[in-house]
């Protein structure tokens, strides 16, 4: 390899020696030189600037249901954020249409009437239900459609509403991102109970519903920060993600989308 490179250089130098002048082309500019004015020639190469890959085009509509964490995607100008997790997802997965139906401060019940017509749905709920101490319920509340006001029973109403809009809908369930504090709205640690209810209980029932329905899970609870990282990955203490926290959420959701987009 070294011998080949050396031969090429010698050929170039020999060609220049036989010429009276030569031209150097550099970044859309050209420079002419007379041979007698040149003392030496140094060859160098610059790496081409990295080009971001084109996003994968998804011929489908995405409806995002959720809390203020999802609502922030269209409201970053008023907060210390550059973009939300959904925009970051669409930099990799370019959906034909996107509608953000998240409700600022909303509990899961707010998603029932917010469901828009779409092909793909994501549901990011649980943190405000914990803040408002919504009873978690059981998988039987979901299966039997008890309508008893528990988180599990309300989830059944949301899913039924989605499939009433589109029988072929693909749904991703998102466990709640861990959080704490926020001026006493939540306990001092994500693992502390609020009125006897643990945040993990909402994450667990979401996973059970997903397993029952064969839905993929974007496990924000497991993968988007614990007590040590939440303050650094939130712009407040410690509920709403900052740019780094939003990117981590986007990475997790992209992995979940890829499970159904490849089918």
78, part of any domain = yes
Residue 115 is assigned to a structural domain of this protein: yes
Answer yes or no: is 27 within a domain.
no
11 lies in some domain: no
Q: Which residue has the higher pLDDT, 192 or 25?
A: 192
Lowest-pLDDT choice from 13-27, 28-42, 203-217:
13-27
CATH code for the domain of 60 = 3.40.50.1110
Looking at the domain assignment, is residue 45 inside a domain?
no
Over 50: is that where the pLDDT of 54 sits? yes
Domain total in the chain: 1
pLDDT at 151: 99
Residue 30 counted as domain residue = no
For 215, the domain range is 56-261
- Predicted TM-score (pTM) of this structure: 0.81
Question: Could you count the other beta carbons within 10 Å of the beta carbon of residue 263?
Answer: 5
Residues 226-245, mean pLDDT to the nearest whole number: 96
pLDDT recorded at residue 262: 73
| 164 within some domain | yes
Classify residue 29: in a domain, yes or no: no
pLDDT tier at 53, thresholds 50, 70, 90: confident
Q: H/E element holding 89?
A: helix 85-90
Residue whose C-alpha is closest to residue 257's, from 159, 126, 120, 53 = 120
Instruction: Report which of 10, 2, 5 is spatially closest to residue 41, judged by C-alpha positions.
Output: 10
238, 193 Cβ separation under 8 angstroms: no
């Amino acid at each position: 390899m070294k011998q080949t490179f050396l031969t090429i250089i010698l050929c170039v130098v020999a060609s220049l020696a036989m010429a009276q002048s030569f031209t150097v082309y550099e970044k859309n500019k050209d420079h002419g030189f007379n041979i007698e004015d040149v003392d030496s020639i140094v060859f160098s190469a610059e790496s081409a600037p990295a080009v971001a890959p084109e996003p994968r085009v998804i011929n489908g509509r995405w409806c995002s249901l959720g809390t203020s964490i999802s609502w922030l995607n269209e409201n970053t100008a008023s907060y210390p954020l550059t973009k939300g997790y959904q925009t970051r997802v669409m930099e990799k997965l370019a959906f034909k249409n996107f509608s953000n139906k998240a409700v600022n401060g909303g509990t899961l019940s707010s998603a029932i009437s917010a469901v828009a017509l779409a092909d793909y749905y994501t549901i990011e709920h649980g943190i405000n239900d914990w803040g408002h101490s919504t009873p978690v319920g059981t998988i039987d509340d979901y299966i039997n459609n008890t309508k008893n006001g528990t988180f599990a029973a309300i989830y059944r109403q949301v899913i039924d509403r989605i499939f009433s809009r589109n029988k072929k809908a693909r749904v991703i369930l998102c466990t709640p991102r861990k959080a704490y504090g926020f001026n006493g709205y939540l306990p001092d640690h994500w693992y502390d109970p609020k009125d006897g209810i643990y945040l993990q209980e909402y994450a667990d029932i979401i996973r059970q519903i997903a397993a029952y329905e064969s839905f993929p899970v974007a496990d924000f609870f497991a993968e988007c920060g614990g007590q040590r990282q939440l303050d650094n990955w939130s712009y407040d203490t410690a509920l709403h993600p900052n740019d780094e926290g939003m990117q981590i959420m986007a990475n997790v959701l992209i992995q979940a989308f890829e499970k159904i987009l490849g089918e």
